[in-house]
Chains A and B, each alone.
Chain A
């Protein structure tokens, strides 16, 4: 059962920010698909501030190759939005695989980021798009890279008075982009493993490779070593095998050896071979 709390529906960003700055034990709610689950199992807040009515936090805009996504944009919206599908097709796909239609209609990209699950579907694609977050609090604002904000599983360095504002991602038009996730059933399942990629190639040579992996490490990560190795290399089995080896090594280095790796690492090897091999 849910504990008692007061709820506030903020109509403007300023209102939300001033609530956050003045109220004790206050918490932002967007779609509530993570927060309600946690509150039902005992997390308590005195004030719940609903931000989904705030127009300036919603919407998607593109300017100079940068896509600006409002934090309360839902997964359903991101999955079908023309600008996202054009500039970040991997992100559109990832969002359309989240949960179920009900969850996608409620759950937001901001919530997905702030919840900071190792299995969050939108995070690997946003990492390859070098997502930049704007964090606002009453009277100040800062910009931080997505990969710098997640500090541990389900933990970010966003403080309790801060609101996540627009998320900016760079367009990767011209890249071969994708997202693949592994789950225990066809839908409505948390990713056991996920890979986001964007690859630009010219005549069989990797010009640029961006690769992010989710659900293997405490936080989804960019496989920068692999990216560096492949840049400028001809696409052939030898280098791909080496890239895969490095990716798996890096994961083991970050996470140590985990029982789940008996499953995950062979699967990841297969996925990466397909992705890098162009299948």
Chain B
């Protein structure tokens, strides 16, 4: 019997994708479908006085113009809280907020007509800065401008600083980043023969969207079906409802097939972004390099709606110390509403921003103490038995020391090829799954009439490779070839809720749910004689005849809610760990920084699919280069990929991926996750490498050519 775990199994979607056969949402479009587009607010903060749709409606080829009055159920959605309107009723809070949907016979007609929907506004005072929001009498929501304030408190912070020999204090700033997935938000909706609403879309979660549609249309969830189309990237941006609500509303009223696709400009304008964080960071350490106290004050701009703002607020706080054992911690993390773009989930939920801060701090301390940056990390690294900042004891799978050890030979033998080169380290830890809340995954297995087994999975494959990984886990658990297994994925009709493809959780959590179902089925198969040679077709037939057809799998990682005052608790069942070592070359004349080489060591618990893990690591590094060196979304200025610079393949360094496997006993075959971890330490290691190469310290990201040149000039003038 072949082994599946730890193998370079070719992705099951590979061939379809390279041959161009995979159908993305918009590929499903045919000529007879209607096209819908969104009329969006042109004002950052205003009351809506009037919405005039008559002119657009009278245009030839226009099938409908829908506004908030056409929503039969609740006009609200939100992953965490239902605070956002599908279609704004009387007030808008950001440029790009949806107000109406125009449906036409084709895209040209719909877009043209949408220009004739007239909105009358009464403008309100705009808040575009969280520090203004903090004290402003202008309220973006009646409850006030503070969305969330989370704290992490451990030990005695005053005492910690008093007993420190070195104290380093700095402020770090990051900005908005766009997900910039290759495929913009898209989908289509239709009514099936039973009169149910069906939405097929590019998404990271289907069951959540089914529920939102059901609430919006005041229809029971069984009357709504959501199917995931092949999805061209997510990174957190397709967690929120994008096209799905509009499509369902159009189908509800028109009973026809309707398709949507955002333009790149629209996606830039209206979709969520990474949170800009302002991080005041104070670190105290003893002479021997041990970190004694960490005080962090995070102020975030969450935009006008919650989206994942609370999640980022908390996750940034509990990860603020970095992967180090710190006895005295005090973190305040606060998110304020503004009239800027809605900031939501993006790969790492605030942790990449914090990694930039804590890794810069650590290098600074090492510099003052004349310690090697690697040694100071080894000294403070979380390991088995350590207490995290939330006082969670790490009982197993804590491979940070091992990642450092694997990087060590490269670090110790590093040599500068020229004086423009430099090397930097970045470490991270990342809690797998949602923070301190239940986040289960369910799946089931059935026998198929044709004599195969079906895996019913609600896990969205967004390019990260979950389809392949779950199949590998199932094959291994059943000791069965993949030819005997059919994957039925991403359809609310044929699967259970697996939760979102986010928080690096699917391999770990849904993988475990698959193991659970497989164990039950395996017992059955054993009993039925499969492993002693009875053909599967036989067993299937008999089982279907008896009605023994379903084996359910479930897993919810063991976590505890964190304390509201101190965040004490075990917010995650397991953590991933990583160390990146990055070599850069800085052109002091132009300020251009080229990333030459990255050694990336990741403790993933177990690499179910080695190629996939490497792929995630390379992708994370690319995104980290963007975060560190180029990506900067300026509201009102950044319009498209023409002026928003993100790395191309020519900006990619050579990557050496090093996989560390400190097995996680609660994970499938020991696996944890790597999706977000791959990105998190990269920007930090680049900034530290720039410091090594040039002596300048970047405290604001992105450190693009202009910012870096100005820093170099300032250093020169000193």
Contact = CB atoms under 8 A, between A and B. Distances in A.
Interface of A: 1, 37, 100, 182, 184-189, 192-193, 262-263, 266-267, 270-271, 274
B107 interface: yes
Given A187-B648, A267-B591, 15 more contacts: A1-B107, A1-B108, A100-B648, A184-B630, A184-B645, A185-B630, A188-B650, A262-B710, A263-B591, A263-B706, A263-B709, A263-B710, A266-B709, A271-B589, A274-B589
Contacts of A271: 589-590
A182 B590 contact: yes
A271 B587 CA distance: 11
A186 B652 CA distance: 9
B650 A186 contact: yes
A37 B265 CA distance: 13
Contacts of B589: 267, 270-271, 274
A186 B594 contact: yes
Interface of B: 107-108, 111, 588-592, 594, 630, 642, 645, 647-648, 650-651, 704-706, 709-710, 713
Contact of A185 (B107, B588, B648): B648
Contacts of A187: 648, 650-651
A266 B717 CA distance: 12
Nearest to A260: B706
Given A263-B591, A267-B590, A185 B651 contact: yes
A181 to B, nearest CB: 9
A186 B588 contact: no
B709 A188 contact: no
B710 A184 contact: no
A99 B710 CA distance: 26
A186 B647 CA distance: 8
B705 A192 contact: yes
B648 A188 contact: yes
Contacts of B651: 185-187
A259 B107 CA distance: 40
A182 B592 contact: yes
Contacts of B111: 1
Given A1-B107, A267-B589, A274-B589, A185 B647 contact: yes
Contacts of B590: 182, 193, 267, 270-271
Determine which residue in A185, A186, A189, A192 has the highest number of CB atoms from chain B within 10 A of its CB, and name it.
A185
Nearest to B629: A185
A192 B592 CA distance: 12
A37 B641 CA distance: 13
A172 to B, nearest CB: 24
Contacts of B630: 184-185
Given A263-B591, A270-B588, A274-B589, A182 B705 contact: yes
A71 B518 CA distance: 67
Contacts of A192: 705
A263 B713 CA distance: 9
Contacts of B713: 266
A189 B111 CA distance: 30
B153 to A, nearest CB: 42
Q: Which 9 A-B pairs have the closest CB atoms?
A: A270-B589, A186-B650, A187-B650, A263-B706, A182-B590, A186-B651, A184-B645, A266-B713, A267-B590
B404 to A, nearest CB: 30
A270 B716 CA distance: 13
Contacts of A270: 588-590
B62 to A, nearest CB: 16
A262 B713 CA distance: 10
Contacts of B642: 37
Contacts of A37: 642
29 contacts: A1-B108, A37-B642, A182-B590, A182-B705, A184-B630, A184-B704, A185-B630, A185-B645, A185-B647, A185-B648, A185-B650, A186-B648, A186-B650, A187-B650, A188-B650, A189-B645, A193-B590, A262-B710, A263-B706, A263-B709, A263-B710, A267-B589, A267-B591, A267-B709, A270-B589, A270-B590, A271-B589, A271-B590, A274-B589
A263 B710 CA distance: 7
A187 B645 CA distance: 11
